[in-house]
Chain A
Amino acid sequence: MSGADPFADIKQAIRRRFGRSARIENIDVPTLGGSNRTVIFDLVESAGRRRLVSRQETYQAEDSPFRSPAEQFRVMRIAHGHGFPVPEPVFEYEPADGAGEGFVTGFVAGETMPKRILGSAEFAETRQHLAEQAGRLLAQLHSVPPGDCALLEPCADSIDALAAYRDRFDHYDEAHPAIELGLRWLHRNRPAPGKRVLVHGDFRLGNLMIGREGIRAVLDWECCHLGSGMEDLGWLCTRSWRFGHPELPVGGFGEKAALFAGYEAGGGSVDSAAVHWWEVFGLMRWAVLNMMQAHGHVLGGRRGVVFAACGRNTALVEYDLLMTLKGSYR
């Protein structure tokens, strides 16, 4: 073989599982950024042709707050087994593949770009029902028996999400009085722990594959853990995820009444004060995650303009956090 085939690892993994005659075609590498390499391709074998997505981890900070690809894959398989709309887990990479850590899932067509989902006339009808549908889906996810996801018990977010983020914040060792005010408020106003459920942890536009009929699949399971279901509702309502439509608290597309109605119709029970607490938590968390990108840029050797911008954008999230604590923002 001459020259380096950038897809040799994927091809080898495919041949190991689907036979020597299996091949891949129509390869597409979307520019999604982040710390994953995503490759979309057709798997062609005797049984036919199907479109798949490969996700390989390219960067792993020693203090990464995210679940490993192996854990994500196992949780996606559990969710899929319960009929939750998640891309079908196909296989996980093994050391013998030489493809690093990652996995392959089925491809789900649709739109993930928040600006297009919120702005395009094509999705005008879709947006009408999205908050209610999101509520129903989250209720479905939160009905997965947490005992099935015992593998998530040891992660810091499952043990105590607030302590986990305080520790991450302390690790970046930068004085941020605004984040301290958020942490203090969260500490003093903490709701009683509700029912313990499987939490997706990053349920918001950008991680939802949307078609005209609504949510087709829930992507990006790297923040999943066990905890309060109100966390997923609160994160979806966090101001940072309204993408230019701050007047619509649910993801920039809906009202809380619709989200809550969908959640209750799906068998869930809403504690709206707890949802608000998790919104404040979400702002604190998003500020800390922006600090994390700056830390990786300045001290972690993973440099780039986007990571640099994240560092400075921490102030924007702090502003929203303080305005929310003052009661000026909802």
Chain B
Amino acid sequence: MSQDRPDIADLLATVQEFIDRITPKLEGEDRYHAQVSAYLLAICGRETRLGAPIAAAEQPRLAAFLGHDGAWPDLVRELSRDIRAGGCDGRWDAALDLVLFQVIDKVSVVRPDHLAQEHRSGHGPD
């Protein structure tokens, strides 16, 4: 689908500039909510850039760990059930690293500066 100018990054930046301009004029709860809105908008910006490649990388990792192919939501549910039932107790460290990969990906979109330095490249745990 092609769209006319401005592109999505520009739209987000434009709304961001507006929020930044009005935030100092606000007080109390409205000001706080404006700051949180800017935070949410920054998440949207990162998700439009990183969302597709992250989703593409996650599915094969999960499929390899579980030993069969499947749609991503089904695989995540299966992994969750496995962990609960004790099915990952025998390969705990591998499960921990697999899930850490997934969570680093989420945090890279939500708030990358929350990650420890070694995880900020967008790659998984060593």
Contacts and interface: CB of A to CB of B under 8 A. Distances in A.
Interface of A: 31, 33, 175-178, 180-181, 183-184, 188, 304-306, 308-309, 312-313, 315-316, 318-319, 322-323, 325-326, 328
Interface in B43-79: 43, 73, 76-77, 79
A308 B40 CA distance: 8
A315 B103 contact: yes
30 contacts: A31-B32, A175-B77, A176-B80, A177-B76, A177-B83, A178-B99, A178-B103, A180-B84, A183-B84, A184-B83, A184-B88, A184-B89, A188-B89, A305-B36, A312-B40, A312-B110, A313-B110, A313-B111, A315-B103, A319-B100, A319-B104, A319-B107, A319-B115, A322-B96, A322-B99, A322-B100, A322-B103, A323-B116, A325-B96, A328-B116
Contact of B29 (A31, A176, A328): A31
A16 B29 CA distance: 32
A183 B88 CA distance: 13
B33 interface: yes
The A contact surface, by secondary structure, is helix
Contacts of B99: 177-178, 181, 322
Contacts of B103: 178, 315, 318-319, 322
B105 to A, nearest CB: 9
Contacts of A176: 80
Contacts of A319: 100, 103-104, 107, 114-115
B80 A309 contact: no
Contacts of A325: 96
B37 interface: yes
Contacts of B95: 177, 181
Given A177-B83, A322-B96, A326-B96, A315 B33 contact: no
Given A175-B80, A305-B37, A315-B106, A181 B114 contact: no
Nearest to A318: B103
Contacts of A175: 73, 76-77, 79-80
B102 interface: yes
Given A176-B80, A181-B95, A316-B110, A309 B86 contact: no
